[in-house]
Structure formats: structure tokens, C-alpha cells
Amino acid sequence: MVSDYDGAWKDLLHRRLPEILSCYFPEISAAIDLRKPPEFLEQELRELLIADPEGINRVDLLIKVATLDGGSQTLYVHLEVQSFKEEDFPRRVFHCFHGIRRSCGEDVISLVILADLDPEWMPQEYTYERLGCSISFRFPCCKLLEILPRLDEDFTLPALAAKAQIAALQTSRDPDKRRAARWLLTRSLYEHGYSREQIAEAYRLIAWMMRLPETQALIFRKQLVSFEQEKNMPYLTDTEEIAINQGRQEGRQDVIEALEIRFDRIPDGLREEILRISDSERLHRLLRAAIQCADLEAFAKAL
């Protein structure tokens, strides 16, 4: 079962950056002026990636924020979510940091959300030494597996994202366990005073991270319908609408997955364009294009 963790995280970070920073990096959050909206530098990031001669600056997000310690002071935040262990990861983070600092100026920080399942893997430093020339670069990390215990009674979106990510990875090979874990998280939304709008937003995030095969998805929908009828809380159980929305979401993920299988990585801008599509027929046509196109440029034209 392939879930689009990156897409879900990027969507959440765009919409809920202050809450994410507050939950995962409280000291960093305290230094940022959250009254001023962050600026997501998508175009600048794409240009930086193109300019990278080694092709290793695979940065999730580049964000310009205001700080509290200098009035109009600007800080560039390089924020990456890493869902699997990568041996050369610290070196890659350093090269990302160095490239952004060279392009944007002095005030840059790199933050990493480690969303993997290896409790022993905690990369926080890159070092290099050769004939008396040395570099030591440290960067703050938030290990989701490590902070889960303190999030046990926390049902904010950042906490739910951490729980959904880890549960999705832990159940990636077991559809029954995946459905059970997703159901526990979904049910918790009703039991902790969420409004209709909050439940819909959290449900979307959980469904995005914890994708189910069709058979399990049908069982899950029946559980949801029965539960909402029992509680007299018809927030999500227009079953047809749920099916349509989930079909659209999974259609987007299918297009992205097909492109990633064929071309390894796809540009963030292209991914975001796909994620904005709501027309099911168009998604079906794009899936065919993703399978048949000669290259990403040909797909972009079809898009």
C-alpha cells in the first residue's frame, strides 16, 4: 500500500506551519514572528535545485519568515521531512543548507522532521576533515517516533500527522492492521470535541497518509457510516461524497506514483499542480499520460 506521505506533509505544512513548528520545534517557534504570514519560496527552490550541479538538494520546503529578535529581520527556513533511513542524509542536509545560504544570504536554518521507524537513527551532524581542513554542521531534528509518547493525549493536527505517519509505516504490509489503526485515529476525532470542519480536515490528512486498498476502504466506510448514525453525528457519512472525494484523492496519488516509478522524482511544482485537480475524468486521462509519456516535459504538456 503506497501512501503519498510527501504530498500530505507538504499540504499540511503549507496550511499549518505555525502549529507544526510549535509542536515539533518549540524553541524555533518562539523566535519566529507568527503574526506575519510565512512566504513559501517554491520558484526560488526550483531554481536552486536546477542550479545544483550534483542534483542532491532535494529540499522539501524553503520558507521565508520574520523573526522576533530584529523587527523586520528575515530568516530562511529549510524544512525537510524524511520518512526513511538514508546513510548519507547529514551530508545532503549540509549541501542543501550551504546552497540556500549561498543563494539567499546569511540567515538560514535547516530543520528536519524524522518520520521513519528506526529508533536508533538520529542524524544531527555532518562533519568533514581532510588534512587539517574541517567542517562541523549541526541541525535540529524532531524524531516523531521519540515524541509520540508525549502526544498520546494530543489531538491537534501536528500530533495526528505524527501518529498517522508512524501508524502508516508500521502497517504498510498489513491492510487489516492499517484499517484498524486508521479507524482508531478517525474515531478519536469525534471523542475529543472536534467540530465538523475540524473533523473533515483531520480526516482528509489521515486518509491521505493511510491509504487503503479498495476492499478495506469499503469496510472502513461501512464502519464510519454505522458509527456516525449511532452517535447522530453525520459529519462525513454522505457515503457517495466520501467515495467521490477519496477516489479523487487516490486518483491524484496514482498519477504521482506512476510518474515517480518511471522518473524517480518529480518537481514539486508539478506535484502540486496534480494535487489541485478535482476532476475525476481528467485524473484518469492524466494517469494514462503518466504511464505512456516519453518524459516529464511531455506529461507537463498533457497536464
Residue with cell 476502504: 217
CA 155-158-161 angle, to 5 degrees, is 90
Distance CA 11, CA 122 (A): 25
Question: Do 65 and 38 meet the contact criterion of CB atoms below 8 Å apart?
Answer: yes
Sequence ranges of the domains in the chain: 5-147, 149-302
Say which DSSP state 37 is in.
P
At residue 129, the pLDDT reads 94
Q: Which residues contact 10 (CB under 8 A, 6 or more apart)?
A: 60, 61, 268, 271, 272
**pLDDT for 283:** 80
Q: What is the pTM of this model?
A: 0.75
Angle at 209 between CA 198 and CA 195, to 5 degrees: 10
DSSP lists the bridge partners of residue 58 as none
Pairing label, strands 141-143, 108-114: parallel
Could you read off the pLDDT tens digit of each residue along the chain, which spans 303 residues? 556 677 788 888 988 999 999 999 999 999 998 888 899 887 776 676 555 444 443 447 899 999 987 655 889 999 999 999 998 999 989 988 988 888 887 789 999 999 999 999 999 999 999 999 999 999 999 999 999 999 998 989 999 999 999 999 999 999 999 999 999 999 998 888 788 888 888 888 898 899 888 888 889 888 888 888 888 877 775 444 554 555 566 677 778 877 877 777 788 888 888 887 867 668 878 887 887 787 888 888 888
Report the pLDDT value the prediction gives residue 57, as an integer from 0 to 100. 39
